[in-house]
Copies of this chain bind each other. A is one copy, B any other.
């Protein structure tokens, strides 16, 4: 559905040329360790909109998002849904040590995963300290992000939620450097209004109204509904309810 780089031919990609090698679970591994991983990995691409894992399913694999965007979500019996994580390239899918999936994982755009069978991967986690080290770091980062999101879900207004989401998407795409905070910035939202509403704990109508309210207030411009231009990033930041550089710590 989107600029998903010229499709990787699965087995042919060497870890050396992997676009996420500096940030994924394997980031700290040395040559010899990489060799072990290299031998076990396999790529799989999921088309936009397709499920990757269902909550309750047995988890036969774990892996890293190489390209694309996936989402982690939870569904209640009556259909209420809450997204609990947005998985971008280098993010990890699956929880070692757990047999059954707790959440649904779904491809939002086309998604390519670098997969490992779960059991063997768990062995590697024990054998390769660097792997476990990075895994811990990533888990702690995600935990902080999840807690940040809890504040958003529990206490922020609809407008603050939208502003927060936009700033987060902008940052995650690395369009904003700390220094050029006041610059004009533009980026794509890879999410439908519905997906946004699931992330923010709102309805899609409210998302639509609030986005258009931000537009009316001249905080953003829209091109073709999915492309956002922020004229003054600092002003948008001020709408998030976060203090100052909110989240640019350490």
- Chain A residues packing against B (C-beta within 8 Å): 72, 74, 76-78, 80-82, 84-85, 95-100, 102-103, 126, 129, 132-133, 135-137, 139-140, 142-144, 146-151, 153-155, 200-201, 241-243, 249-250
Q: Is the CB of B74 within 8 A of A147?
A: yes
29 A-B pairs whose Cβ atoms sit less than 8 Å apart in the complex: A74-B147, A74-B151, A76-B151, A76-B241, A77-B241, A77-B243, A78-B241, A82-B154, A84-B150, A84-B151, A85-B147, A95-B140, A95-B144, A97-B140, A100-B250, A102-B144, A103-B147, A129-B129, A129-B132, A139-B139, A142-B143, A143-B143, A143-B146, A146-B146, A150-B150, A150-B153, A153-B153, A154-B200, A155-B201
Q: Is the CB of A150 within 8 A of B155?
A: no
Closest to A153 in B: B153
Q: Is the CB of B98 within 8 A of A151?
A: no
Specify how many copies of this chain sit in the oligomer: 2
In the bound complex, what is the Cα–Cα distance between A115 and B159 (angstroms)? Answer: 41
Query: Within the complex, which residue of B80, B126, B147 is in contact with A146, where a contact is CB–CB below 8 Å?
Result: B147
Cβ contacts under 8 Å, A243 to chain B: 76-77
A233 to chain B, nearest CB (A): 19
Closest to A150 in B: B84
Closest to A55 in B: B249
Q: Is the CB of B153 within 8 A of A201?
A: yes
Cβ contacts under 8 Å, A132 to chain B: 129, 132-133, 136
A96 to chain B, nearest CB (A): 8
Q: Is the CB of A100 within 8 A of B249?
A: yes
Closest to A144 in B: B102
Query: Within the complex, which residue of B72, B80, B144, B147 is in contact with A155, where a contact is CB–CB below 8 Å?
Result: B80
Closest to A84 in B: B147
Closest to A72 in B: B147
Cβ contacts under 8 Å, A155 to chain B: 76, 80-82, 201
